[in-house]
Structure 1
Amino acid sequence: MAQESVASATSHVAHEGDEHNTKNMLGPLLCWAVVFADIGTSVYYTPGILYKSVQGLAGFFVFLTMTVFVLLTLKYAEVTHRYPQGGGVVTVGAQALNPWFGALGGMFILVDYFLTASISSLSGIQYLNVVIPSLTPYILWVTVAVVILLGMLNWVGISESAKVSLVGAIIAFVSDIAILVTVFSHISFGQFLELFPKMFANQSLTGLALLTGFANAFLAFSGLESISQLSPVMKRPHKKVAGQALFLVVITIGLTSPLLTLFSTLLLPQYVANDATSGQIISLLAGNWGNLALQIEVAISASALLVFASNTAIIGAYHVFMALSRMGFLPEVILSRNKLRGTPHFSIALATFIPVAILIAVNGNINLLGDMYAFGLLGAFTLTCLGLDVVRTRDWRKAIAARKRQANLAVSATQSNGSNQIGAADITSTHDLQLSHVEPVNNIQAPTSNGTAKQLQEVQKETRGWWFKIDYVLGILTTLLVTIAWVTNLIFKRDATLFGGSITIVGMAIAYIYHTRSSKVTGRVVVPVVVTRVEERMPNSILAVLKPGDEENEAVIHSAINNNDQHRPVVFLYLSDHKPRTQVPRMMEIVDPYLEDEQARSSFGKAESAALKAKLPTRKYIYIQGGPEVATRVWQMLHPHDTIVAADNNERLKDINPDRIRYEVTPEGKVAHLLKRW
């Protein structure tokens, strides 16, 4: 059975009410800072880890993987403006494929966050060890203490600041450039060019070596997913801001990461091959080709930025835990907040102590952590890319269908006694196409003729353009390349597969058990449901209108399902009075009014549970904040055959013009059927 819940999620994000307060939202520079502060830290530990598997070819593989990284940024920029509520792979998987793929994406990104927190904090203390050599025997336990301290700070409620990220990112980028300038001041351009054949001097590049090296080098670009988590706090338009921010990311990472990896692995092989110094290689590169002052500066700045990246991972992890709980996949206890600080202590504890357990389990072995890293990172990349390809394909098909309908309307208008006017119902039909790449402000828009026609023309023009087709093909190529890298790591990175696979299996098992048990509890039905927008006409459908606190909601649900002998598509519309928050969300927070509306989630959960029992093949769930006038607009767009409402609410839908009204008395209450032949 196919659940039709795959389009763009409710986009009336919580900060809409405070949109005028743009000074607290992130522009391109601050978004760049947050992402670079995450991706930019990878260069501090990647050369040492990568050298263990590919030796002098580390720089070559980072250069090679950089091309796929650029393609990935195009897809993540689109994810950012398609899904302004944030959530990254969780939201993409749920919206594009199925709610359970959202849970799977959540498990992937949690594995990524756990290892980011572990490896970044450990690498940060290793760089601090350059300045404080006496830390050497205690690096592991100092790292554990730092992670626990970060967890305590989050429990207290100290939030991350993009402005602090900006300072750290600028310092890190300037330090990286200073190292490159220093190295280039000591070698000629000819000597620099000689480094490239030197990479291949003692190693043969076989097909298998090319495949495994390519897959391993993705470690150098971990952190890209953080851009999609910034959507709720990003200035509008998301498409422009995310595009500019990621352009800066590509330039700054492209200038630093491949060259620093190349220099550190070829100019200091004696250090990068040594386990004791490989985790400090960028600082040692600065000291060997510059001076002690530069070495210390790089060590301190790297240490601070790595610890900062570890904190970002903890924040991201506990927000994912909370989102999965709100979606009905994890126990509600995860959402509990302590009375003293109002912070989600269970989520924070999980996000803190799992990385601590990982650090202790591997005994502070950063190379082993690097080997374990690939599963969650590449799994999240793959699922995000696949989900976006699915959405793009649907959009293309809808654009083609809309053009055909528009052509048919034009023919009908020409044949209707020379009339140049199209009827109101036909005008409404041009609103069938609301593609999710058009960044919406509200869940639906009024079906006005001018605005709708303009939107439709713009969408049709975009899908006809060469860039859409090129982007579509490049997107599929990106998915293929990332999938190859992930599958390669699944096969050849045993530790990563065992660790990541175990976490994912355990997490999905917990989600399934909780889902199954919750579905059996009377009045507390929790079935994963993903909401959608109005996207297309459904003239043979049933529209079931639900309202908060309405005792007849169950009557409406059961009537929509039980009076469906012809297996019509059913659209469950929830008109919410849930007030969105007015404060600007925190960084990395997943902001979706539907997930925060317990009554709506409960009503949709009951509807989905009943639909599953009745084996209803097609259903949609639409969540909108508004009153009866919104239901009227949905009715005009869908063209449903039967609109079912609680009998008491019938008169409130004044602008719905049914052909006839039929009343039904059910055990749960009385409902009205507003029947219409279009």
Structure 2
Amino acid sequence: MEQQAISQGSLPNPPVAEHGKSSLGPVLCWAVVFADIGSSIYYTPGILYSSVGGLAGFFVLLTMVVFILLTLKYAEVSARFPEGGGVVSVAAQGIHTWAGAVGGMFILVSYFLTAAISCLSSLQYLAVVFPAILPHVLWITIGVLILLGLLNWVGVSESAKVSMIAAIISFGSDLLVLWTVFTNISPSELITLFTDVFRTQALTPSSILVGFAGAFLAFSGLESISQLSPVMKAPRKKVISLALLLVVLTIGFTSPLLTTLSTLLQPEAAHHEVLSTQLVSLLGGHWGNTLLQTEVAISASLILAFASNTAIIGAYHVFLALSRMDFLPPFILKRNSFRGTPHYSIALSVGIPILVLLIVNGQINLLGDLYAFGLLGAFSLTCLGLDMIRFRELKKGTHTVASLASSPPSEKSIGPAHTHLQPVSGSLNGHQSANGTVTASSATLDASQLQRALRTATWKRIDFVIGVLTTVLVMLAWFVGLFSKPLGAAFGGSVVLIGVLIAVVNSMHRGRTLVLPARLQGRVPDSTLVVLLDGEKLNEQIINSALHAIEQQPVVFLYLSKHMIERNPRPFEILDPYLEDSSARETLSKAEQIARKQKVTRRFVYLPYTSAQIAQVWRFVQPRDVVIPAELLTRAEDINPDRIRYELTPHGKIAHLLKRW
């Protein structure tokens, strides 16, 4: 890990407790993500076959390329936002706070359908072993969802170690089925079978687009990695990279092959309303024996139940985050006195999937049609938000330090993305060319350092271009899904619209503007630094004083918080100190409202309170004026202004520290 001095943007860690022994390494992260994505193989072949026929496996393989590109972006999202949140965080930071609300609605739609389709599919696979439950599978599914809701209400959290056992059993079952088929069928027979499909089913531009969009169903669950950031071991970037490499290898080997074999070798079953929901188990039984068929059915049922529970957990944590962001009513945050769990958000996370199951009458293909809208919408906003963040960094010509936002205290990281101060070329004692390339004098940088800087800048541009290409492909799939799956667009669009309307009404009712502290990417010339302290009675006077003294100069609001999150995070919990700091959100909301009226450029920074923090930010931003309570001057001794101007207010004395850099 590259360590930087304060002149290059290194700041103390956020006020979050250590993760302790519950932190997840790459294998456990893989297990949780695979338990979500890996479950998709059990219902994707039948659903995809209903729309593209025998080409289902081909389209899964085709979409696999975009899936790999998508994992690269989710790896960066997970590293940049260690507080979790996924699409909510990256869309809010990269695009707009309201984009975060829309992203939250998208991922909720995806979670609702994941809970419904995974739980239903779990019972349909169990019907291979117990056929008597098949006529009652819808009502049993609803009962299982209620049971999962009760377990979450009691507080029985999902264990990553148990997920690992389920993931290993499921992956082993997939490999055993593939081995059984390949030992009974020669490669030449498989090639002939595959080529026959292309002779009977012509590929047209429209069929390619429809198949490409539909095949994303095989990779639902990738968003889980971004929700695990708060519980990952350090260094997070390494854990994320290894975990996603394992995900790509395991999913890439099993999903396309199992989809191809289960549909091409069982066309009659793939056409059948019931048997199409049990294809992988039937494949093992046909080419193996009853024992293998039973084992696959049980392991599939187990991992699908885990995926359903994961969706419920993810959904109620998104509900909590959106409520903390003032987009949803505050009652969602209420916890019961019995177990301290958020019973309202859990009830919504279970009740809505049950309602969806009743509406579609347990038809799994119809659930598949509804799925794409929320899943691809969340993917699209995540990609677009990250592209916007990268674009702003490239535009300013900054050099982002790798993994600064996701390292432990021992690595001198700065913590959450919204507290990230990035280095500027000036801190390298060099200068920046028009195209963003950093150059330097020979006294500061030798030839090898300059080459390294140039390679880094070049790679960032290449990475940005690849990221934009990924966004275009994902958004293309989403737009195709809007027209090819109109019911999905109608359902998902209605849920998102209702959610946004609730968010608008709730925001207006609370009467405050959500402010999300963002990244500072270097000095802010001719600016005013406004220091706001947790619990300080002069905060509002300081805001008014600073904005009254300027015309159109930019303002940086620095909020120093004493808020501390003491508890260890849980999987899928969005652990953002700022969202849980109501005092900070209230103060910065007032600053935003006043600054907006004056039409001044403003930026917001949220950091833990330390005695050296003010001077560190002052040296980094290099403002012409620092507005601060006079009593704090003794704690800002490292600031060296040209002169100090005092201002008396009814609540106390305010100091202006003036400096010409």
TM above 0.5? yes
Q: After TM superposition, list the pairs within 5 Å mapping 1:102-251 onto structure 2.
A: 102-251=100-249
- What is residue 338 of structure 2 aligned with on the other side? 340
Task: Indicate yes or no: 2:623 matched with 1:640.
Answer: yes
- What is residue 417 of structure 1 aligned with on the other side? none
- What is residue 614 of structure 2 aligned with on the other side? 631
Q: After TM superposition, list the pairs within 5 Å mapping 1:368-407 onto structure 2.
A: 368-399=366-397
2:424–2:521 contact (8 Å) kept in structure 1 = no
1:123–1:303 contact (8 Å) kept in structure 2 = yes
For 2:557, what is the secondary structure of its paired residue? strand
Q: 1:585 is matched by which residue type in structure 2?
A: P
- What is residue 435 of structure 2 aligned with on the other side? none
What is the CA-CA distance between 1:538 and the residue it aligns to?
Answer: 0.9
1:544–1:645 contact (8 Å) kept in structure 2 = yes
Q: Would the alpha carbon gap of residues 138 and 333 (structure 1) be closer, same or farther in structure 2, given more than 3 Å must change? A: same
Task: Indicate yes or no: 2:528 matched with 1:542.
Answer: yes
- What is residue 612 of structure 1 aligned with on the other side? 596
Name whichever of 437-446 and 639-648 sits farther off.
Answer: 437-446
2:421–2:519 contact (8 Å) kept in structure 1 = no
Identity in percent: 55
Q: Over the residues paired in the alignment, what is the CA RMSD in angstroms? A: 2.5
Q: Would the alpha carbon gap of residues 454 and 111 (structure 1) be closer, same or farther in structure 2, given more than 3 Å must change? A: farther
Tell me the distance in 2 between the aligned counterparts of 1:116 and 1:11. Answer: 39
- What is residue 18 of structure 2 aligned with on the other side? 18
Q: Would the alpha carbon gap of residues 214 and 285 (structure 1) be closer, same or farther in structure 2, given more than 3 Å must change? A: same
Name whichever of 359-368 and 384-393 sits farther off.
Answer: 384-393
- What is residue 503 of structure 2 aligned with on the other side? 511
What is the CA-CA distance between 1:350 and the residue it aligns to?
Answer: 1.1
1:632–1:655 contact (8 Å) kept in structure 2 = yes
2:539 alignment partner, one of 543, 550, 553: 553
Q: 1:374 is matched by which residue type in structure 2?
A: A
2:400–2:422 contact (8 Å) kept in structure 1 = no
Task: Indicate yes or no: 2:605 matched with 1:622.
Answer: yes
For 2:200, what is the secondary structure of its paired residue? coil
What is the CA-CA distance between 1:187 and the residue it aligns to?
Answer: 0.5
Tell me the distance in 1 between the aligned counterparts of 2:633 and 2:374. Answer: 50
For 1:116, what is the secondary structure of its paired residue? helix
Tell me the distance in 2 between the aligned counterparts of 1:552 and 1:529. Answer: 20
Task: Indicate yes or no: 2:572 matched with 1:580.
Answer: no
Task: Indicate yes or no: 2:414 matched with 1:442.
Answer: yes
For 2:599, what is the secondary structure of its paired residue? coil
Q: After TM superposition, list the pairs within 5 Å mapping 1:476-495 onto structure 2.
A: 476-495=468-487
Q: 1:597 is matched by which residue type in structure 2?
A: D
In the TM superposition, what whole-angstrom CA distance separates every residue of 1:139-180 from its partner, at most 9, and x where no partner exists?
111101111111111010111111011100100000001100
For 1:546, what is the secondary structure of its paired residue? strand
TM-score under structure 2 length normalisation = 0.90
- What is residue 502 of structure 1 aligned with on the other side? 494
Q: 1:120 is matched by which residue type in structure 2?
A: S
Unmatched tracts of structure 1, length 5 or more: 1-7, 403-432, 520-525
1:325–1:334 contact (8 Å) kept in structure 2 = yes
For 1:560, what is the secondary structure of its paired residue? helix
Tell me the distance in 1 between the aligned counterparts of 2:493 and 2:650. Answer: 47
Tell me the distance in 1 between the aligned counterparts of 2:234 and 2:386. Answer: 21
2:424–2:523 contact (8 Å) kept in structure 1 = no
- What is residue 47 of structure 2 aligned with on the other side? 49
Q: Would the alpha carbon gap of residues 10 and 103 (structure 1) be closer, same or farther in structure 2, given more than 3 Å must change? A: farther
Q: 1:473 is matched by which residue type in structure 2?
A: V
2:526–2:623 contact (8 Å) kept in structure 1 = yes
TM-score under structure 1 length normalisation = 0.88
- What is residue 6 of structure 2 aligned with on the other side? none
What is the CA-CA distance between 1:460 and the residue it aligns to?
Answer: 8.6
What is the CA-CA distance between 1:464 and the residue it aligns to?
Answer: 3.0
Tell me the distance in 1 between the aligned counterparts of 2:355 and 2:424. Answer: 59
What is the CA-CA distance between 1:437 and the residue it aligns to?
Answer: 5.3
Tell me the distance in 2 between the aligned counterparts of 1:518 and 1:311. Answer: 32
Q: 1:659 is matched by which residue type in structure 2?
A: D
2:525–2:623 contact (8 Å) kept in structure 1 = yes
Tell me the distance in 2 between the aligned counterparts of 1:45 and 1:200. Answer: 23
Q: Would the alpha carbon gap of residues 11 and 353 (structure 1) be closer, same or farther in structure 2, given more than 3 Å must change? A: farther
1:532 alignment partner, one of 518, 523, 543: 518
Task: Indicate yes or no: 2:305 matched with 1:314.
Answer: no
Unmatched tracts of structure 2, length 5 or more: 1-8, 407-412, 431-437, 439-444
Q: Would the alpha carbon gap of residues 176 and 134 (structure 1) be closer, same or farther in structure 2, given more than 3 Å must change? A: same
In the TM superposition, what whole-angstrom CA distance separates every residue of 1:70-104 from its partner, at most 9, and x where no partner exists?
11111111111111111111111011111111111
Name whichever of 113-122 and 186-195 sits farther off.
Answer: 186-195
- What is residue 650 of structure 1 aligned with on the other side? 633
Tell me the distance in 2 between the aligned counterparts of 1:154 and 1:93. Answer: 28
Task: Indicate yes or no: 2:329 matched with 1:323.
Answer: no
Task: Indicate yes or no: 2:553 matched with 1:568.
Answer: yes
**Alignment size in residue pairs:** 627
In the TM superposition, what whole-angstrom CA distance separates every residue of 1:106-160 from its partner, at most 9, and x where no partner exists?
1111111011001000100111111111112211111011111111110101111
Q: Would the alpha carbon gap of residues 268 and 462 (structure 1) be closer, same or farther in structure 2, given more than 3 Å must change? A: farther
Q: 1:182 is matched by which residue type in structure 2?
A: T
Tell me the distance in 2 between the aligned counterparts of 1:467 and 1:634. Answer: 29
Task: Indicate yes or no: 2:485 matched with 1:473.
Answer: no
1:662–1:672 contact (8 Å) kept in structure 2 = yes
Task: Indicate yes or no: 2:646 matched with 1:674.
Answer: no
Name whichever of 283-292 and 446-455 sits farther off.
Answer: 446-455
1:10–1:592 contact (8 Å) kept in structure 2 = no
Task: Indicate yes or no: 2:660 matched with 1:660.
Answer: no
Q: 2:98 is matched by which residue type in structure 1?
A: W
What is the CA-CA distance between 1:461 and the residue it aligns to?
Answer: 3.4
In the TM superposition, what whole-angstrom CA distance separates every residue of 1:565-618 from its partner, at most 9, and x where no partner exists?
2x111111111111232x4310011111111111111111121122233333x1
What is the CA-CA distance between 1:348 and the residue it aligns to?
Answer: 0.9
- What is residue 441 of structure 2 aligned with on the other side? none
Q: 2:630 is matched by which residue type in structure 1?
A: A
Task: Indicate yes or no: 2:62 matched with 1:90.
Answer: no
For 1:160, what is the secondary structure of its paired residue? coil
Tell me the distance in 2 between the aligned counterparts of 1:262 and 1:579. Answer: 51
